[in-house]
Amino acid sequence: MDEHSAQDENNKMDTTPLPVSLNPEVIESRNLAPEIELPQIFQKIVQERGNFRDLDETELEKQLEEEEDSSKAFSGKQDPYYGFTILPSQQEGNDVSQNSMNIHDYKKELVDYILIAQNECSLALDMTSLLLSKYKQSSSDTISPFLKSTVPPGSLGLERCHPPEAKESDSILAMCWKRKSLTSSKNLLFDAKERLSKVVDSEREYFQILSNVRDSSWPLVLSNKGGNYDVSVQYSALGGISLGLGLVRKDQEKQSYNFESGLVHQKASLRVDLVSSTGKIIASSKWNWSWGIQEEEDQLLVKIQSAQRVLLEMDVWNALLQEAQICENQGVVFTGDTIVLSCNPEFSLRIFLDTNTEESRQDPEADFLNVDQEEEYDYETKKLSQRCCDAVNAITHILFLQYCRNPNRKLQQAELAMVIDASAPQIIRPLIFYYAIHEEARQFQNWLQNEGIKFEYLPSYPWESAQDFLTFENFLLTNRLSLQWYLDLDSSLPAHIQHNPTLHGTEKTVWKYKDAYNFYKFSSVKNMCQYIEHARKQRGEVASNAIQE
């Protein structure tokens, strides 16, 4: 119906002659509308598409193509009211922007309202002050300076008059106002209760978790960071050098509680590799805390435990690094991430902190696979070298424990005199010490065997007499060993050699040779070997002389 009438009208328009032709004329309003500035274009783009950084050429092209497609599809029905449909959407957009006011807008609004109120108040003050200034000199002080300068004091008067009639609407308004405020205060109370009980619920959850952590005997420490009191879990509670504190925080997205420690590594374990001179790994050993998987259901406790483990391993590593600084004279080379002990030209021990996050292997056989497969070593040798690495790793940890137990271990006077840094841990040095003793003894044995001298080697290591682990730990650090050798140079001449190596090199002459006539001290095996050779020769000459005579 409407269409018909419209068409009719159109027909009429066409038919009725008009003085001015109604043909559309293109008028470029170039002079009227100023060109849009670039900043404005930026603003528009930011409004339409959000962040500027997300604009992507390919995506925009795709969008354009889609738009063209859709415009082709909709080209049939061109809505004359198309323009109107945009308007409401724009309004909605405006509403959204109003709702999401930030704190500065709130502040501005607050200041605005207060300014208005202050303005009103000062107006009233001005008026009354002006009135009172007629009768009292002092009240002119409260008139604002501007008013004082423009209006002479005492220019306002007052007169007695009838009170205005009370309006009925006023009392109704007052009552309604009060009722409304009562209702709103009631609603406010209920709303506040709702919010508060939610807060209380989450608090309860948090504190129950904390008390759970406490019940499993992890100490909690109250820390004060800039006025904020935080309850942190001391995950380094079991021991070690450094202090580790972590916070229990709620993960808002997952609705679960998380343990946040300041550690860089997820996992860390000390690894000892035996490396051949060609750079191939012969054996390797990785320290593994055996207490990792207890029957802990609680994920949080497991996380605390693993943090403790990582921190301990980092402590061990740092102690090693600290010690490596002072034992460079014993062939210890260290870079930031590895320590290399090269006592033997063929092999070297490489110690480093393995922070691989992949699953640590549980069985020792798997560790074996880690090693480069080499044909030149048989299974036995490999097994032995594996044991060597394991031992180094184990003793490192034991000595670390000893270091933690007695951080200020009293060194004896003689040791103190020789040691550069008395407070440094003693982990590498004992290891090298025992290795060096072994090497020396082996050299001597080889020499004796080559010479065909019968001998008896009676080493007595201090740890052999250890009753328990603690004494074992202490015995590993004995400064002086006493190793006995009995030589049978000739059937008539038994010699007794005492080897007294010292951990800190406090004694110069470590070999003491003693036979029926002589007592000599030597600083190295070589010298002593030469002396023994000399003594044998003398003996032989004496003996042959006796036979000749």
Partner 1 sequence: MSSMEEDQFSEESIADESQKIEQILEIESKIPDILSHAGNCIDAIETKESIEEFNKSAKSFFQTLEYVSTGLRKQVLDLEKAEVPLASLQPRKHYVTEPLTGMVFDEVNRLL
State the alpha helices, DSSP H only, in 133-167.
145-150
Handedness of CA 97, 98, 103, 107 (dihedral sign): positive
Q: How far is the CB of 205 from partner 1 (least distance, A)?
A: 10
Q: Position 328: which residue type?
A: E
**Out of 82, 106, 113, 291, the residue judged to bind partner 1 by CB under 8 A:** 291
Q: Write the DSSP symbol of residue 499.
A: E
**Binding to partner 1, residues 454-473 (CB under 8 A):** 469-470
**Binding to partner 1, residues 378-397 (CB under 8 A):** 387, 390-391, 393-394, 397
Stretch that binds partner 1, among 203-211, 260-268, 372-380, 499-507 (CB under 8 A): 203-211
What are the tokens at 126? 């001005």
Q: Which residues contact 330 (CB under 8 A, 6 or more apart)?
A: 343, 428, 429, 432
**Binding to partner 1, residues 156-195 (CB under 8 A):** 179, 182-183, 185-187, 189-190, 192-193
What are the tokens at 171? 């009392």
According to the binding rule CB under 8 A, does residue 207 interact with partner 1? yes
Other CB atoms within a 10 A radius of the CB of residue 20 amount to 5
According to the binding rule CB under 8 A, does residue 242 interact with partner 1? yes
Helix (H, G, I), strand (E, B) or coil at 213: helix
Q: How far is the CB of 211 from partner 1 (least distance, A)?
A: 5
| Contact between residue 245 and residue 221 where contact means Cβ atoms under 8 Å apart | yes
Q: Which is nearer to partner 1, 279 or 407 (CB)?
A: 407
Q: How far is the CB of 283 from partner 1 (least distance, A)?
A: 12
Instruction: Give DSSP secondary structure letters for 66-97.
Output: HHHHHHHHHTTS--TTHHHHHHHHHHHHHHHH
Stretch that binds partner 1, among 18-26, 149-157, 163-171, 398-406 (CB under 8 A): 398-406
Helix axes 428-451, 379-405, angle to 10 degrees: 140
What are the tokens at 169? 């609407």
Stretch that binds partner 1, among 78-86, 110-118, 285-293, 502-510 (CB under 8 A): 285-293
Stretch that binds partner 1, among 68-76, 218-226, 322-330, 487-495 (CB under 8 A): 218-226
Angle at 318 between CA 401 and CA 350, to 5 degrees: 95
Selection from 414, 406, 402, 371 nearest residue 389 by Cα:
371
Q: How far is the CB of 474 from partner 1 (least distance, A)?
A: 13
Selection from 534, 505, 502, 508 nearest residue 523 by Cα:
508
According to the binding rule CB under 8 A, does residue 228 interact with partner 1? no
According to the binding rule CB under 8 A, does residue 223 interact with partner 1? yes
What are the tokens at 480? 């002086």
φ, ψ for residue 39, nearest 5 deg: -55, -35
According to the binding rule CB under 8 A, does residue 197 interact with partner 1? yes
Q: Which is nearer to partner 1, 218 or 444 (CB)?
A: 218
Size of residue set near partner 1 by CB under 8 A: 55
Q: Which is nearer to partner 1, 107 or 204 (CB)?
A: 204
Q: Which residues sit at the interface with partner 1, rule CB under 8 A?
A: 179, 182-183, 185-187, 189-190, 192-193, 196-197, 200, 203-204, 207-208, 211, 214-215, 219, 221-223, 234, 236-243, 245, 285, 287-291, 312, 364, 387, 390-391, 393-394, 397-398, 401, 404-405, 407, 469-470
